[in-house]
A and B are shown apart, each in its own frame.
Chain A
Amino acid sequence: MPVYGFTLNGNPVTVDAPEDLPLLWALRDKLGVTGPKYGCGINVCKACTSFLDGEDIRPCSVKVSAAEGREVTTIEGLADGDKLHPVQEAWLEYDVAQCGYCQPGQIMAAVALLKRTSSPTDEDIRAIENVCRCGTYFRIREAIMSAAEKMS
């Protein structure tokens, strides 16, 4: 099996995997990184949202081979050590989570949005497709708006 090397949350890693193994399973089953969650496997629930070279991706639908030599950031790598990202802080402030399963993906999607625009519109937020089965959408919205304000 081929070996792929990439930077995962700041640390170099290698993984022995078939070329077309979805990155999600390389992370979860081979590297023990479980922050990105499985919810659909076909890029529709968005629960696994993470970053590849700073761009948001759904690792369930990105091949591990595509990560070769690049930087993968999961929810575990979002904070700077013990210092949380402002979006994580906002998630705490607004007590967004209920069951919490979709929230790593929601947070990464929110961070990606705030990378694209520092002042997201209502439409920008409505365009986030990440499913939250508990119905935390209103608090997600509040947290994103608050984080945007603090970050600008």
Chain B
Amino acid sequence: MLEVALGRRRFMTYLLGVPALAVATRITFDAVAPDAAAAALPSAPSVEEMFDIGEALVVASAPTMPLVKLEIGEDGVARMGVPRIEMGQGITTALGMLIAEELDLRMDQVEVTCADARPELVLNQMTAGSSTIRAFYDPVRVLAATARARMLAAAAVEWGLPVGSLTTSGGSVTSDDGRTATFGELSRPAADPALQVGAVVPKAASDHKIVGTPVRRVDALDIVTGRKRFTMDLQVPGALPTMIRRAPTWNGTFRSLANRGAIEAMPGVLAVATIPSGVAVVAETFEQARAAVCAVDATFSAGPVPNESNDSIMQKLKKAALPFAAPALGAVTVEASYEWPSASHAFLETECAIADVRPGGAEIWSGFQAPIVAQQKIAVELGLPQKAVKAHVVPCGGGFGRRVFFDTAMEAALISKAVGKPIKLMWHRTDDMRHGRCRPANVQNFRATLVAGQVATLEQRVCGVSTDYRHGLGEILTATATALPEGAKQAVANDAFGQAVFLTFVASPYNFGVYDKRQTELSLGIPTSSYRSVPNQTARGSEEMFVDEIAERLGVDPVEFRRSTLKSERTRAVLDAVVDAGDWGRRMPTGFAQGIGVHVESRSHTAALIELDCRDPKNPLVTKAVMAVDVGKVINPLGLEAQMQGGLAEAISLTLKAGLHVVDGLPLEGSYSQYHFARQKDFPSDLEIIIMPSHDGPLGGAGEVGSSAPTGAIANAYARATGVRPRTFPINHPIDFDPFPPGQLPPPAFPEG
């Protein structure tokens, strides 16, 4: 049952329950069957290959998919409030394409917006796991096809003509004798519940005119003219600029404020409030709030990790990593370990939220990836019924996983309640980098046993600071456990939650005999969150480096080794594509090298060939990148290409130069001058993204699959260029700056320098 609203009428289209249910129960098994032709020792299918995190999200979304609506009113525009957030990944464009396709509309006749929190959707409002298109591809096409069928049926009745003599185009129905009516005009008669509508079948892929073609972003004009409104750009009446003085250590909590009167007397300051995370200052402008926050004289609890540093955290992780099962057998054993420090999501739009809390209800605006959980928890904290809290989902300036949490919205609600005014809370960049939930540090240990020139066993032992998943993903995995194939159910049900996420996210694309991946997590109390591709970029990126080490031990070319051990023809095809386009093996000058990597995630396959200029090993430069991607079905090649470019930016940054230095329980990095996320000079000007043609394989994800293959490829190129295998990341990670004093927020850089 799906709901279509036309004109002022809404109705339930019962026949549509079938496709929604079909989506719920369709589990894909791509790449599970070992390839009989492979020369390597086959590995049993992993949990991820049977049931990946995206499927969990698709299955969890299906039961309430009927509550998602498509509306066409008298203006003829097709509107959908999608219960997901646009973070730059292009879902509003891709979903708009699906709607325009089925309704034969132009893109400017479709509007896809981000729906407010809708608790009745239960588990169907979390943007994660590269699953939006996987979850909505069928339901949205059926909705739009149904709306079109009703338009045709209404026109047929009006004109006394058979439906077969009518066509749709550009928002109108036209008869073969030349009569036309717009969707707007037809929206009333099309809404007649008595209208007879035949079977609704979305278009065959071969008939697609929009889907599969490059379509530019629907918000592009607003972006280039400065009209796109992010949370802090919203003009909520009376909402006042607010900042917070935070603890000098991670998760330290507020204890006392010594100079409230002095702060209240500072220029522009309008109110001061204390909340568990610190001292909030409400002011006329953000700069006045910042200046006042710096003058705050407050004490905080030390928090759970006041003495931890990168080294001490890594020592604990190494100690806690599970041992290998296979014995070390000298010459036939290959071992390596790779260390990754904490990393900052560092989205350009810092953490922010607007809150207007009144005695009987509250309104919150923020970039929510999981708005329902946010709404529930904020309501509890405010002592309000859930329905009395409106959580508006505002398209955000990058999410990369951290906006599944809603710490900032919660803070904003508490502050607004305390001061009795609407407020706009913005984190300073320094706080965003230091106190924003980070990607957890982790160590990746590998051991492989080689027998007769083949990999007989490969074990991966991951130990990381625990990733916080208390944002609803736990409920989703629990709720979908019954849908799991038996083998996966056992693994997921028996293991701790972090292991379940790990196993449903990470799979190795190779036949390496007995394959065993295990993750352990240490709960240290560090504020953490998922980061784009969650365990993959470090777990699979490291494995791609280890695969090169095995190939070297076997004396085989890394590309040949991968070709002979990959499980899936699809992975082999993307590998071959980059090898051909990138001219693998071409002669490189001294100090330069090529590197290769492949990756499979969210049912999509990628490969990357990187050329690295390592003449200065302290400043390696990616000079060329060739990537290939197979997502099964391409909705928008332009958007897919953008996601691969984004994945490459992640890989360049996290592999070569971006990481946090934790000292005494706080990262030192406080701005982009210190946290070295890639800039224009770090990005290759020679770049080719190869998009494999659509086929009948399962629909794959696009948002996260792009970072792991280039991660491996960059490190492998570095090893080939320098003869040194990198073991700690980012490869170059000096403290090349003067850290801001803990708790302080740097002043403007007058005069501009």
Q: Which residues of A contact B (CB under 8 A)?
A: 17-18, 20-22, 25-26, 28-30, 32, 34-45, 47, 57-58, 60-63, 74-76, 78-79, 84, 88, 91-92, 95, 97-104, 107, 122, 125-141
Take A25-B286, A101-B348, A101-B349 as given contacts and tell me if A126 and B680 are in contact as well, using a CB distance cutoff of 8 Å: yes
Residues of B within 8 A of A128 (CB): 679-680
Closest beta carbon of chain A to B613's beta carbon, Å: 13
Is residue B303 within 8 Å, beta carbon to beta carbon, of the partner chain?
A: no
Question: A42's contact among B88, B221, B673, by CB below 8 Å, is which?
Answer: B673
Take A61-B748, A61-B749, A135-B645 as given contacts and tell me if A45 and B224 are in contact as well, using a CB distance cutoff of 8 Å: no
What is the chain A residue whose CB lies nearest that of B89?
Answer: A98
Residues of A within 8 A of B745 (CB): 41
Residues of B within 8 A of A42 (CB): 429, 671, 673, 746-749
Complex CA distance for A30 and B646, rounded to whole angstroms:
35
Q: List 5 A-B contacts (CB under 8 A).
A: A43-B749, A97-B224, A107-B224, A126-B681, A135-B646
Closest beta carbon of chain A to B472's beta carbon, Å: 23
Residues of B within 8 A of A126 (CB): 680-681, 685
Number of chain B interface residues as a range: 35 or more
Judge whether A61 and B224 touch: CB under 8 Å: no
Judge whether A58 and B220 touch: CB under 8 Å: no
Take A22-B287, A39-B348, A126-B681 as given contacts and tell me if A95 and B226 are in contact as well, using a CB distance cutoff of 8 Å: no
Judge whether A100 and B232 touch: CB under 8 Å: no
Closest beta carbon of chain A to B287's beta carbon, Å: 5
Question: A40's contact among B233, B398, B672, B750, by CB below 8 Å, is which?
Answer: B672
Question: B429's contact among A21, A30, A35, A39, by CB below 8 Å, is which?
Answer: A39
Take A42-B749, A95-B216, A134-B649 as given contacts and tell me if A47 and B225 are in contact as well, using a CB distance cutoff of 8 Å: no
Take A22-B287, A100-B223, A104-B226 as given contacts and tell me if A61 and B650 are in contact as well, using a CB distance cutoff of 8 Å: no
Q: Which applies to chain B's interface (DSSP): helix, strand, loop or mixed?
A: loop
Closest beta carbon of chain B to A122's beta carbon, Å: 6
Question: A137's contact among B87, B395, B428, B683, by CB below 8 Å, is which?
Answer: B683
Is residue B698 within 8 Å, beta carbon to beta carbon, of the partner chain?
A: no
Residues of A within 8 A of B680 (CB): 125-130, 137, 140-141
A-B contacts counted at CB < 8 A amount to 217
Is residue B327 within 8 Å, beta carbon to beta carbon, of the partner chain?
A: no
Question: B673's contact among A44, A63, A138, by CB below 8 Å, is which?
Answer: A44
Judge whether B672 and A95 touch: CB under 8 Å: no
Question: B348's contact among A18, A37, A75, A138, by CB below 8 Å, is which?
Answer: A37
Q: Which applies to chain A's interface (DSSP): helix, strand, loop or mixed?
A: loop
Question: B235's contact among A32, A40, A107, by CB below 8 Å, is which?
Answer: A32
Judge whether B223 and A95 touch: CB under 8 Å: no
Residues of B within 8 A of A132 (CB): 348, 649
4 closest pairs, A vs B, by CB?
Answer: A135-B649, A35-B226, A99-B88, A101-B397
What is the chain B residue whose CB lies nearest that of A18?
Answer: B267
Residues of A within 8 A of B224 (CB): 75, 84, 88, 91-92, 97, 103-104, 107
Question: A92's contact among B90, B221, B232, B681, by CB below 8 Å, is which?
Answer: B221
Question: A21's contact among B220, B287, B346, B649, by CB below 8 Å, is which?
Answer: B287
Judge whether A133 and B677 touch: CB under 8 Å: yes
Judge whether A60 and B748 touch: CB under 8 Å: yes
Judge whether B638 and A95 touch: CB under 8 Å: yes
Judge whether B683 and A138 touch: CB under 8 Å: yes
Residues of B within 8 A of A84 (CB): 224-225
Judge whether A61 and B225 touch: CB under 8 Å: no
What is the chain A residue whose CB lies nearest that of B348?
Answer: A101
Judge whether A95 and B752 touch: CB under 8 Å: no
- B:562-584 near A, CB below 8 Å: none
Judge whether A38 and B642 touch: CB under 8 Å: no
Take A79-B225, A138-B645 as given contacts and tell me if A131 and B749 are in contact as well, using a CB distance cutoff of 8 Å: no
Take A20-B750, A99-B396 as given contacts and tell me if A45 and B672 are in contact as well, using a CB distance cutoff of 8 Å: yes
What is the chain B residue whose CB lies nearest that of A145?
Answer: B685
Q: Find the residue from B348, B678, B681 having the highest chain A CB count within 10 A.
A: B348
Closest beta carbon of chain B to A32's beta carbon, Å: 6
- B:396-411 near A, CB below 8 Å: 396-398, 400
Complex CA distance for A34 and B687, rounded to whole angstroms:
33
Q: Find the residue from B223, B229, B681 having the highest chain A CB count within 10 A.
A: B223
Residues of B within 8 A of A138 (CB): 645, 683-685, 687
Complex CA distance for A135 and B652, rounded to whole angstroms:
10
Q: Find the residue from A45, A78, A100, A134 having the highest chain B CB count within 10 A.
A: A100
Judge whether A97 and B397 touch: CB under 8 Å: no
Residues of B within 8 A of A107 (CB): 224
Judge whether A99 and B225 touch: CB under 8 Å: no
Closest beta carbon of chain A to B532's beta carbon, Å: 11
What is the chain B residue whose CB lies nearest that of A87?
Answer: B224
Contact with A along B210-254 (1 / 0, CB 8 A): 000010110111111111111011010000010000000000000
Closest beta carbon of chain A to B647's beta carbon, Å: 8
Complex CA distance for A99 and B87, rounded to whole angstroms:
6
Residues of A within 8 A of B287 (CB): 21-22, 25, 41
Closest beta carbon of chain A to B667's beta carbon, Å: 15
Closest beta carbon of chain A to B368's beta carbon, Å: 15
Judge whether B398 and A134 touch: CB under 8 Å: yes
Residues of A within 8 A of B219 (CB): 97, 100
Residues of B within 8 A of A101 (CB): 88, 230, 347-349, 397-398
Take A29-B241, A43-B753, A137-B680 as given contacts and tell me if A100 and B228 are in contact as well, using a CB distance cutoff of 8 Å: yes
Judge whether B225 and A88 touch: CB under 8 Å: yes
Residues of A within 8 A of B233 (CB): 34
Residues of A within 8 A of B241 (CB): 25, 29
Residues of A within 8 A of B519 (CB): none
Take A37-B349, A101-B348, A129-B680 as given contacts and tell me if A61 and B671 are in contact as well, using a CB distance cutoff of 8 Å: no
Complex CA distance for A7 and B680, rounded to whole angstroms:
32
Question: A135's contact among B347, B672, B683, by CB below 8 Å, is which?
Answer: B683
Question: B90's contact among A29, A34, A38, A98, by CB below 8 Å, is which?
Answer: A98
